[in-house]
Amino acid sequence: MSAIFYHSTKQKLLAEQTRDEQQKNHVSPIVTKIVKAGTFYDAENYHQKYILRQHRDILDSLHLTDEELISSALACKLNGYLGGYGNFEDFLKDTEGMTLTKKQLNYVEQQLKKASEF
């Protein structure tokens, strides 16, 4: 499930505004739920960074434990970009200062190119 959890009215309004603005760029309806935050439980490890986990070579090359994977900013960004969210130029800006090998960068670039072809 895709969801945005809010803690205040301001956050809820911002989430709704962002969703509505983004909807203009999509044919299919955005189905992300906007829900008041309640008690939150981490999903099982195999659900964490699910898209990144489908790209075993790059995941393994990061050498992160399951606990590190949950909190890693790099893993979070890779998960999104490998899911087709964003472009390579944005990816480079987002990961500036993070240690990525040439092989890892090339892999992400190829995946983003594939995603943009659809």
pLDDT band at 42 (very low <50, low <70, confident <90, very high): confident
Contact in structure between 84 and 112 (CB atoms under 8 Å): yes
Sign of CA dihedral 47, 51, 54, 55: negative
Percentage of the residues of the chain whose pLDDT score is greater than 70: 98
Domain ranges for the chain, please list them: 1-41, 44-118
Cα 99 to Cα 30, 48, 52, 56: the distances in Å are 33, 21, 17, 18
Angle between helices 73-82 and 102-116 (to 10 degrees): 30
User: What are 47-71's pLDDT values in tens digits?
Assistant: 899 999 999 999 999 999 988 999 9
